[in-house]
Structure 1
Amino acid sequence: MTSIKVLDKAVAVLDHLADAGQATPAEISAAIDEPRGTVYRLIRNLVQYGYLEPTADGSSYHLGGRLFELGTIVAARFADLQSSAKPAMERLSRETGQTVFLTVRRGLRAVCLERLDGQQIQVMILPRGGSVPLHGGSGARVLLAYADPQVQQEFLGQPSLDVFTPSTPTADALRDELAKIRANGYCVSVDDVVPGIAAVGAPIFDQKHEFRAAISVAGPVPSVIDDMSERTRTLVIQAATDVSGALGCRSYAEAVRKAASPADRDQRGEVGVHAFG
């Protein structure tokens, strides 16, 4: 087995535990479709380097402290974005009563840098530091819409996309939606990740008018969409404008207009590329 293949398998173990929280070797073996002997060797090496730790009873494993150390280093690289976004996120959460997310793209996934829980309901998906595919909700689809065309093609060209609910968009539906998101400057998603939950997301730009992140608000469909959809959309766009301004963007409207043209988009859509390698 080559070192690259071993690394791929180790990453698969880490990714599974990131989603599952903890798992037994048998569960990991089934999840990543590898023989138990291979999984035991991977676990032994990952434990040795601090990337995995056994649970108290020794039957299962979860992510280890070494990953926290590395994550702290990565998080520091986003400090300007998080500090710039925090006041607008707090205001948006207060004004809507809903859960607010700040997300960036890492590869083909949306990573949550920050979240503020709403007063009305706890949206359980996407904890701080967690991730979802780039079609999973309004914030994620904003990240996909403003990514460079090569990233879009790679994502949409996958053999299949995760299906969360009957309303989760297909690749064909996403192709039609991405241009609309850039033209409108926002994205609305309904029932596509969690039944009964809707979300509105908008892009964030920096001083060079380059796309940096997405801010979104999520809550029960009646609160986000039916009763005050125009108000929610206005508040989200205002929050995105405020965060962009804090990052040095002098004209949010101009940044949105420029980003609507595919010819003007570059590879800055993946903020995480500089932090995650």
Structure 2
Amino acid sequence: MERAVSPRPGGSSVLGKVQLILESFSHDEQHLSLSEIARRSGVAKASVHRLAQELLSWGVLERRGQNYGLGLRLFELGQRVPRQRILRDIARPYMEDLHQATRETIHLSIPDGLDVLYLEKVYGHGHVAWPSRVAGRMPLHGPATGKVFLAFGPPSLLGEVLGAPLTRITPHTVTTPTALLAEMAQARKLGYVVESEQARLGYVSVAVPLYGTTGPVMAALSVTAPLHRAAPVRYAALLHAVSPRFTRSIGATDFT
């Protein structure tokens, strides 16, 4: 699926052009021609060609025939981001335990602007395809993990989401402020979020917040299963058992 690149402030600067070039790649089309990069990014083809050569030399881009893709240097740099790495490393054993208990797909996510960003995923039977892939993102109001930050995070974040259009991901996605507010109230009452077919048709997700030792929500953890065999109450109980263990593990690190 082609992803449109939104205009960015400073897009006329060299760094702005590099950002637009890198953001022109998607999960579904990982290798693009220079002409396609120029079309998607809005950067002049001559500039794309010049910058691509520099990005190749840095390892930020790689070349396959006449096409270009994101290079391993970006992966290497991404592994150095301490917050994401620590969260992933701490949560991974608990995610594997949840997978063993449910045989379903487990997601770990954090907020990034008005999106939810997937940090880690443990696959279940017939694993969930796009968009729930590591480093993938979706609007906060769609998947269960995104809704966690709206229900249990700062009220200002919910207000910001309500102030923007609520895009429809599936025919079941909540797209009105009234309905979203009702969902958030129900989530706070239950202590967890249940989302059915709002992010992907045929799937149900149950998510809980993961807290740091000082209180704020740090991440969201979810179980995702096909609608015909999902057991939301059971998943919620298993997730709630993990949450305090995660907080204790975070407290034992030098996470900042």
Common fold: TM-score over 0.5: yes
In 2, Cα distance between equivalents of 1:91 and 1:62:
35
Gaps of 5+ in 1: 250-270
For 1:68, the aligned partner's letter is F
Report if aligned partners of 1:121, 1:219 keep a CA contact under 8 Å in 2: no
Aligned match of 1:14: 22
Aligned match of 1:24: 33
Aligned match of 1:70: 77
2:246 pairs with 1:243: yes
- 1:72–1:243 distance in 2 versus 1, CA, 3 Å: same
TM-score for the superposition, normalised by structure 2: 0.81
Q: SS state of the match for residue 76, structure 2? A: helix
- 1:180–1:25 distance in 2 versus 1, CA, 3 Å: farther
In 2, Cα distance between equivalents of 1:17 and 1:164:
21
For 2:94, the aligned partner's letter is A
In 2, Cα distance between equivalents of 1:3 and 1:106:
18
Report if aligned partners of 1:121, 1:220 keep a CA contact under 8 Å in 2: no
Aligned match of 1:107: 113
Which structure 2 residues correspond to residues 156-235 of structure 1 after superposition, within 5 A?
156-158=162-164, 160-172=165-177, 173-224=179-230, 228-235=231-238
TM-score for the superposition, normalised by structure 1: 0.75
Percent identity reads 31
Q: Of Structure 1 and Structure 2, which has the larger fraction of its residues in helix? A: 1
In 2, Cα distance between equivalents of 1:105 and 1:82:
14
2:130 pairs with 1:122: no
- What's the CA shift for 1:204? 0.5
What value does the CA root-mean-square deviation take over the aligned residues? 2.8
- What's the CA shift for 1:42? 4.7
- What's the CA shift for 1:171? 4.8
Which structure 2 residues correspond to residues 50-89 of structure 1 after superposition, within 5 A?
50-55=59-64, 57-58=65-66, 60-74=67-81, 76-89=82-95
Gaps of 5+ in 2: 1-7
- 1:49–1:154 distance in 2 versus 1, CA, 3 Å: farther
**Higher RCO by CA contacts (8 Å cutoff, separation 6 or greater):** 1
Q: SS state of the match for residue 77, structure 1? A: helix
Aligned match of 2:5: none
In 1, Cα distance between equivalents of 2:238 and 2:33:
45
In 2, Cα distance between equivalents of 1:146 and 1:45:
44
